[in-house]
Amino acid sequence: MPEGFVYDTEPPSRAVLAMGSIDTEKVFPMLKGIQSAFYAEGRDVTKADTLADIAAAMGVERIQFTQVFESDEIRARTLAHFKHARQAKVSGFPTLVLQQGDDLHLITNGWQPLDEIRRALDSRA
């Protein structure tokens, strides 16, 4: 990545939601494709063209992906997801949040041993 590069998670997050609107079976492959492009290939996944390339590699037409990706609906859904994450007190990776109805319970911010996660989940059961 170029010097001074700032990783903006909005475009790749929006790309995952866009893919979910197109084909729910390709959500996790899209996420994996974005991660691979960024971490393994050093590609700029904040660019719409890069994200469209990833979608096209999975058999989704570039124009269809781009239209959904650029839509007001997907932009709004992405912002709603970010707001939801802030409400759940997500501040790092990995984060585990338990949703019970409309209630969100932060289980862990950051890596925790499985036994700790189980205890936290059990306390919410």
Long-range contacts of 68-72 (CB under 8 A, 24+ apart): 68/18, 68/21, 68/22, 69/14, 69/15, 69/18, 71/18
Contacts of 65 by beta carbon, 8 Å cutoff, 6+ apart: 15, 18, 19, 22, 51, 52, 55, 56
Average pLDDT over residues 29-36: 96
Residue-wise pLDDT tens digits, 54-90: 999 999 999 999 999 999 999 999 999 889 888 877 8
pLDDT of res. 3: 61
Walk me through the domains of the chain, giving residue ranges and CATH numbers.
Answer: 10-79 (1.10.472.60), 88-124 (3.40.30.10)
Of the pLDDT bands very low, low, confident and very high (cuts 50, 70, 90), residue 5 is low
Higher pLDDT, 3 or 94: 94
Of 125, 120, 122, the C-alpha closest to 106 is: 120
* Percent of the chain residues topping a pLDDT of 90: 59
Residue 75 DSSP code = H
Average pLDDT of the residues of the chain: 90
pLDDT of res. 102: 80
